[in-house]
């Protein structure tokens, strides 16, 4: 999974504009300038093919196609909004990882920072998660219909390795609506399509955590401007405390990267542009998705 990126554009890396994320970009608003003509094509295309192969390797065609659709929809949501606001932007750079359980570290898009206004920051930041969430929910609903319930035989499976998934509240609700309450010893065996939907819901919840350069950080800054810094700082220290208390060591790299890039969001070129009531309401509702889309312990590797 992808935890950070540099602004990547026209073959250059600008280490002053880094940002952590999971399957998303560093959208930071736009202005009237057209994108440069030097946008890379071959490298993004090669990485896209490699990520298709890596996701196919870990989950087969029934997993690779929907999960790549979800990730691509998320990235294109950012990309097309960047085009709308004439923000110079690269094509998505997908990151393959041919090992279970996900098969990818996500994707990043390089954008020029500090050149656009508050509304552009909001629209580019929020569109990716909302766009990717649509196929994620559809895949979850349909995939759960193709999944089934089995009785977990602890004795027979004593030496069998397995991956148990944490359940975001939204996915748990969809599962309950599909199968009803499960009896003791029963578990849902997910179809690959349902697992792709689970991945999409989880990464959307993760990306919307309102810290720094995550999508949620962009949205929160657009809503609250500099008041967002206090909330982001509180959240990153609270997450660090929770990691030590509950021993969620898998988040250590993510937290280090968030500290490295900093919880503070840089100002836009014009923070005084009003968002309007509709954007404000949608922004808060979207940030609230973290409560139903994120789970602090997504994977548990062990023996049933």
Q: Where are the domains of the chain?
A: 4-302
Q: What is the per-residue pLDDT for 193?
A: 97
Helix/strand/coil for 190 = coil
Query: How distant, in Å, are the alpha carbons of 104, 179, 293 from that of 210?
Result: 23, 33, 14
Q: What is the pLDDT of residues 52-80, one digit of tens each?
A: 999 999 999 999 999 999 999 999 999 99
Nearest to 196 by CA among 152, 144, 149: 144
Compute and round to an integer the Cα radius of gyration of the chain.
19
Rounded Cα–Cα distance for residues 288 and 10 (Å): 36
Q: What is the pLDDT of residues 136-160, one digit of tens each?
A: 999 999 999 999 998 876 554 444 4
Neighbours of 256 (CB within 10 A): 14
Q: What is the pTM of this model?
A: 0.82
Low-confidence ranges of the chain (pLDDT < 50): 1-37, 156-160, 303-304
Q: What is the per-residue pLDDT for 116?
A: 77
Contacts of 77 (CB under 8 A, 6+ apart): 127, 128, 129, 130, 131, 132
Is 219 within 8 Å of 122 (Cβ atoms)? yes
Q: What is the per-residue pLDDT for 113?
A: 55
């Amino acid at each position: 999974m992808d935890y950070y990126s540099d602004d990547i554009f026209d073959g250059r890396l600008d280490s002053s504009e880094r940002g952590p994320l999971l399957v998303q970009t560093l959208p930071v608003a736009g202005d009237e300038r057209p994108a440069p003509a030097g946008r890379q094509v071959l490298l993004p295309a090669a990485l896209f093919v490699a990520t298709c192969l890596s996701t196919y390797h870990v989950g087969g065609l029934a997993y690779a196609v929907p999960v790549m659709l979800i990730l691509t929809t998320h990235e294109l949501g950012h990309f097309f909004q960047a085009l709308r606001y004439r923000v110079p932007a690269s094509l998505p750079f997908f990151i393959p990882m041919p090992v279970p359980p996900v098969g990818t570290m996500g994707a990043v898009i390089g954008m020029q920072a500090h050149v656009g206004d508050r509304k552009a920051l909001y629209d580019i930041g929020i569109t990716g998660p909302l766009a990717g969430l649509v196929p994620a929910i559809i895949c979850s609903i349909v995939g759960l219909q193709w999944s089934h319930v089995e009785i977990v035989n602890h004795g027979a499976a004593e030496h069998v390795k397995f991956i148990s998934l944490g359940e975001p509240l939204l996915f748990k609700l969809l599962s309950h609506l599909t199968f009803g309450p499960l009896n003791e010893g029963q578990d849902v065996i997910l179809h690959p399509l349902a697992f792709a939907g689970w991945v999409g819901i989880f990464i959307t919840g993760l990306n919307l955590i309102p810290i720094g350069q995550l999508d949620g950080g962009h949205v929160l800054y657009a809503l609250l401007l500099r008041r967002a810094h206090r909330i982001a700082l509180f959240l990153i220290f609270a997450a660090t405390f929770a990691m030590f208390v509950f021993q969620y060591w898998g988040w250590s790299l993510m937290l280090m990267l968030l500290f490295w890039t900093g919880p503070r969001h840089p100002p836009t070129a014009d923070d005084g542009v009003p968002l309007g009531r509709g954007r404000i309401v949608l922004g808060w509702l979207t940030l609230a998705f973290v409560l139903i889309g994120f789970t602090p312990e997504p994977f548990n590797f062990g023996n049933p």
